[in-house]
Amino acid sequence: MATSFNENFDQHGAWRREFSLRLKLLAEWMKDHELLDAAVEERLRRLETRVRADKIMVAFVAEFSRGKSELINAIFFAGYGRRIMPASAGRTTMCPTEMGYDAGVPPCLRLLPIETRLQPQSLMEWRMVPEKWTCIDLDVSDSKQLSVALEKVAETRRVTQDEARALGFWQTETPQDNPMSDAQGLVEVPRWRHALINIAHPLLKQGLVILDTPGLNAVGAEPELTVSLIPQANAVVFLLGADTGVTQSDLTIWREHLASDAEDAGTRLVVLNKIDTLWDALSSPAQVQAQIERQRASTAEILGVPAQQVIAVSAQKGLVAKVTDDAALLELSCLPALESALSQGIMGQRQKILGAAMAGGVAELRAETGRVINIRRRDLTEQVMELKGLQGKNSAVIKSMRFRISQEQAEFDLGGAKIHAVRSVHLKLLREVFGILGAKTLKKEMMELTRMLQQKGLKLGVKRAYGETFDRLRAGLRQVQSICAEIQVMLAATFRQLNAEYGFSLQAPIELSLAGYLHDLDRVERSHLQYLGIGNAFRLAQAEFADRLVRALSTRLRDIHEVALGDIELWGKSAMAQLDVQLRERRRNFGRRLEAIDRIQQAAGGLDERLVELQAQADALQQLDAKMSELTHHLVTATGSARSGVAAAAEPA
């Protein structure tokens, strides 16, 4: 059998923990040997944080009653021996539900009341106000208590049509999407807007986040889901009924919320659930399988995805098979095929991206520390040549040598003004960058968009306003790219000059590319276009909905800008850290040279002793370099084995 998603995730978690530990040990070793400058320390910190806090989000999306919660139970929670997520007949998960693990929060279920939709704050903002959530403690050792507590995500309440309209669940213009009214004219809506489940499940502890979404009406009414959470998921599992195939409402969800670029297509898995409804005593197994294959082919054609990304399963039979340890039924359920696809595709892609990032970061780390070691090696060589030149010379020559070194030191110190000027220009340009991508500029852009959306009536020019906003945001990023290029050119020229004057070995940083962030802006813009068409004109006319849309957009854009600024800051810090290191090493070198001359003047045997000491230092430096190569090689090898492990896991035994 191919390695299951759970097993592969366990392996991924073990690799992350080991890699994080090795990074910490490397940082301590480098600190002990004075190789840890500010930029290297920051790079190590970022690598360690990324590998330790890496999250993998799998979003389950479907219309109501397609079996999302049952599939989640079957894949992730069968070990409890019962259903954990509510999965009875009819509608179960009524609000978007996130399952994850935060060691700083006790096991609990937090529920955000649906009434918060009447207020302008985004979901991300509500997360910062824990007292507004209803909190229920969870006993992870008691599966029954856990199951009963989680049934609350299925709770509903009945409201008037006016209340439902205010909450986003009633559209006069699209009556076919509205919930049914009872005899009193009341309609059923979810009691909760969002649910957060924090439990110490082994997979969740290792960074898995599961997002269970409700049906079309709830998804469309919560912009933050479709413009932020779902697009950021590492995998989206889209469920359909094997007996019904792609219905009109299924197709609407796919086209409006899930159809993606070609580069993201591999993150979409389509699941035809409930194949057990096709098991028929009057049909042979071959006939049943042929029917399933026809549904797979038809689904792939309608949704425009490769047939291998459409997987037919029975989540219910798979769960029963795992709980009762029935291998034959598990094979019939085809659940292992889906777990294998998740393992190979989603886990494989995630491990590949993370492994490549770690390998790249370690290589840059090795290059930076290699430069420091080479500077020390060069300085030692210069000292040896200088001292050998004094062998057999009288005290006057030695005194003259000391005077010359002191002069060199004084001239070097006078050159500090030039270096200070470089720093000033560098900081001035970086401040300009932070002004363009800072929170104040983004807030101004969002205020303009909010003003446009707050106009009464139909907002026919909203798509143009969005387009202009994103054009300005892209122009800002391109301006930042231009400033970074200017910084790079300035540093290259300055470093060449300093290398020539002082014998430094400064290397100008590679020009920073912000193309990835421009691409992120394009993706965010496309995710919002679904709300700007004629079909959503009436929804956009509601001030509350339009405001939530802009707030969701602000949250997503702020994240993009903050990450971009972090990369720019590290890029600039790395460049200037080189200068700091070489200045420090040069000053130390002057001190050591003067100390050696003083010792030679005081003792006749001082010269030979100093030459022996320098040779010992050169040997120690060689060992230091070898040890650094060994430690970084182990890290790079670990990233390679993690990536190759994905391929190995995909192969049948």
Is 503 within the bounds of a domain?
Answer: yes
Q: Which two tokens stand for residue 211?
A: 């997002």
Residue 579, pLDDT score: 84
CA 452, CA 429: separation in Å to the nearest integer?
33
Give the structural domain span for 217: 55-155+191-333
Is 23 inside any structural domain?
no
What does DSSP assign to residue 511? P
- Predicted local confidence at residue 642, as pLDDT: 52
**Digit-coded pLDDT (tens) for 305-326:** 899 889 999 999 999 999 999 9
Sign of CA pseudo-dihedral 244, 250, 251, 252: positive
Residue 300 belongs to a domain with what CATH number? Answer: 3.40.50.300
For 310, phi and psi rounded to 5 degrees?
-110, 115
> Could you give the dihedral angle defined by the CA atoms of residues 529, 532, 536 and 542, in that order, rounded to the nearest 10 degrees?
130
The answer to the question of residue 201 being in a domain is: yes
Bridge partners, residue 56, by sequence: 208
Residues 298 and 396 in one domain: no
In a domain, 50, yes or no: no
pLDDT of residue 652: 40
Are both 149 and 274 inside the same structural domain? yes
- Burial class from Cβ neighbours inside 10 Å (0-12, 13-18, 19+) for residue 223 reads buried
Q: What is the pLDDT of residue 192?
A: 92
What integer pLDDT is reported at residue 375 of this predicted model?
84
What pLDDT, on a 0 to 100 scale, did the predictor assign at position 649? Answer: 44
Q: How far apart are CA 343 and CA 322, in angstroms?
A: 18
Amino acid at 87: A
Task: Provide the pLDDT for residue 201.
Answer: 82
Cross-strand partners of 245: 241
181 phi/psi in degrees, rounded to 5: -90, 145
What local confidence, expressed as pLDDT, does residue 538 receive? 63
Same domain, 485 and 586: yes
pTM of the predicted model, to two decimals?
A: 0.74
Q: How far apart are CA 262 and CA 397, in angstroms?
A: 74
d(CA 153, CA 114): 12
Contact 169, 94 (CB under 8 A): no
Q: For 210-277, give the secondary structure using H, E and C.
A: EEECCCHHHHHHCHHHHHHHHHHCCEEEEEEECCCECCHHHHHHHHHHHCCCHHHHHHEEEEEECHHH
What are 577's two structure tokens?
Answer: 């850290």
Ranges of the chain with pLDDT below 70: 1-4, 88-93, 172-177, 215-221, 226-227, 260-266, 346-347, 455-460, 530-543, 603-605, 639-653
Do 205 and 80 fall within a single domain? yes
For the record, the structure tokens of 140 come out as 């992870």
pLDDT tens-digit series, residues 480-527: 999 999 999 988 998 888 888 888 888 888 888 999 999 989 888 887
The rounded distance, in Å, linking the Cα atoms of 512 and 359 is 18
Tell me whether residue 345 is in a domain.
Answer: no
Rounded to 10°, the helix 38-53/348-388 angle is: 160
Look at residue 605 in the predicted model and tell me its pLDDT: 61
